[in-house]
Amino acid sequence: QKEVEQNSGPLSVPEGAIASLNCTYSDRGSQSFFWYRQYSGKSPELIMFIYSNGDKEDGRFTAQLNKASQYVSLLIRDSQPSDSATYLCAVTDSGGGADGLTFGKGTHLIIQP
Amino acid sequence: GAGVSQSPRYKVAKRGQDVALRCDPISGHVSLFWYQQALGQGPEFLTYFQNEAQLDKSGLPSDRFFAERPEGSVSTLKIQRTQQEDSAVYLCASSPAPLAGAPRGEQFFGPGTRLTVL
């Protein structure tokens, strides 16, 4: 049974600070890793994906992957109130095709103005 | 362009009724997925289609759940004899993968259908 673990929060961060979201996964065969943002009552929206160990930066977002530790993280710099949402970590063992995603329960992030 | 659309957006059913949920994927997307999201939980995978072929249905919780995509575009998720535990948001996602050059595993979600079983 594949499992993805996230702290459900809420995680409260002051506006302008760095928000750090963490995720661990159980399946060592996992190859692709995703962070989705989900606003209340809305559908998940992909914000970052990472396949290789190390860091990947996109604007204010940085995804970090450590396959040896089975650990994925998302950093949000200069946090804005609009970043307040639930962040879902998802993994798949698809190495190049399409495959169902295994999601964590999500971390509820609150950015305090 | 248009995103993934789902209908109806809300569905209330009495226990024991059959329901059908529709998904229109992004045009040209090969892969289509169904997920179930209970309140306060992450989405859980139900089933996956590549064109009209259902390649994985391991997540369907019981034989009351049935999905089809007969022409490789629109998909329908049918739930027979609904139970209260079926109450959830049903999300459909599509992906251009596994076409060459498509980002691996990137999926685009529709707005979901919120099913309430009384």
Encode chain B (118 residues) as per-residue pLDDT tens digits.
589 999 999 999 999 999 999 999 999 898 999 999 999 999 999 999 999 999 999 999 999 999 999 999 999 999 999 999 999 999 999 988 775 555 566 789 999 999 999 9
Q: What is the per-residue pLDDT across A44-72, written as a single tens digit (0 to 9) for each?
A: 999 999 988 999 999 999 999 999 999 99
- B15 CB-near residues (< 8 Å, 6+ apart): B82, B83, B84, B117, B118
Closest CA to B97 of B49, B60, B56: B49
Tokens 């034989």 correspond to what residue? Answer: B63
pLDDT confidence tier of residue A97, bands split at 50, 70 and 90: low
The count of CB pairs under 8 A between chains A and B is 73
Query: What is residue A44's predicted lDDT score, i.e. its pLDDT?
Result: 94
Query: What is residue B100's predicted lDDT score, i.e. its pLDDT?
Result: 52
The strand order across the sheet containing B75-79 reads B5-7, B19-24, B75-79, B65-68
The 10 Å CB-count burial string (b at 16+, else e) for A71-82 is: ebbbbbeebeee
Please list the residues that pair with A56 across neighbouring strands: A63
**Backbone phi, then psi, for B83, in 5-degree steps?**
-120, 160
**Backbone phi, then psi, for B98, in 5-degree steps?**
-95, 30
Query: What is residue A29's predicted lDDT score, i.e. its pLDDT?
Result: 86
Using an 8 Å CB-CB cutoff, list chain A residues near B40: 105
B94 contacts chain A (CB < 8 A): no
Using an 8 Å CB-CB cutoff, list chain A residues near B42: 4, 88, 90, 103-106
Tell me the three state secondary structure of residue A76: strand
Query: What is residue A31's predicted lDDT score, i.e. its pLDDT?
Result: 85
| Closest residue in A to B42 (Cα–Cα) | A105
Using an 8 Å CB-CB cutoff, list chain A residues near B28: none
Query: What is residue B1's predicted lDDT score, i.e. its pLDDT?
Result: 57
Query: What is residue B2's predicted lDDT score, i.e. its pLDDT?
Result: 82
Q: Closest partner residue to A44 among B31, B41, B109, by Cβ? A: B109
Using an 8 Å CB-CB cutoff, list chain B residues near A49: 103-106
User: Residue A34 is inside which H or E element, if any?
Assistant: strand A32-38
Query: What is residue B106's predicted lDDT score, i.e. its pLDDT?
Result: 78
Closest approach of B65 to chain A, Cα-based (Å): 17
Tell me the three state secondary structure of residue A13: strand
Rounded to whole angstroms, what are the CA distances from B111 to A59, A112, B106?
Answer: 26, 27, 17
State yes or no: pLDDT of A83 exceeds 60. Answer: yes
